[in-house]
Amino acid sequence: MEISGHVLKEFNIEQPVFYAEFDVETLARAGMSATVYQAPSKFPTVERDLAFLFPVEVLGGDIVDEAMRAGAQCLTAARILDVFRHESFGEDWKSIAITLSFQSADRTLTEAEVANGVQSIVAAITARWNATLRS
């Protein structure tokens, strides 16, 4: 619903404002689950950047999905960092770099834990697309 003009004027708001009200019980009965708030971890996030050579038809979203499915413990996020094409790679190849974020809710991760997670992601990505890890 739209907030009435006289209320907006009272708060010096010069653009339309809308609101919505949801019945959480009705949504739950329809199969939608409520998002549960989770406090941020007090332990540090460890990030690792990896760059691979991929066939040009590989999509960045598929790479992120594969990284998240790879089974790396404490992997909390994966995102595309860079996409780069260069003649030295060949016409059918491109470089895609990803950033991986690892974090635990109850402890500081060890370097070995992060390295194991990175290895499982590298193995999954290289196996799926015959990608090459760039150094």
Q: What are phi and psi of 41, to 5 degrees?
A: -70, 145
The pLDDT profile of the chain, 135 residues, written as one tens digit per residue, is 898 989 889 999 999 999 888 787 887 788 777 667 678 899 999 999 999 999 999 999 999 999 999 988 999 999 999 999 999 999 999 999 999 999 999 999 999 999 999 999 999 999 999 999 998
| Percent helix, strand and coil across the chain, each to the nearest 5 | 35, 25, 40
Query: Quick one: CATH architecture of 46-133?
Result: 2-Layer Sandwich (3.30)
Q: Residues 6 or more apart from 116 whose CB is under 8 A from it?
A: 72, 73
Residue 46 neighbours by CB distance under 10 Å: 20
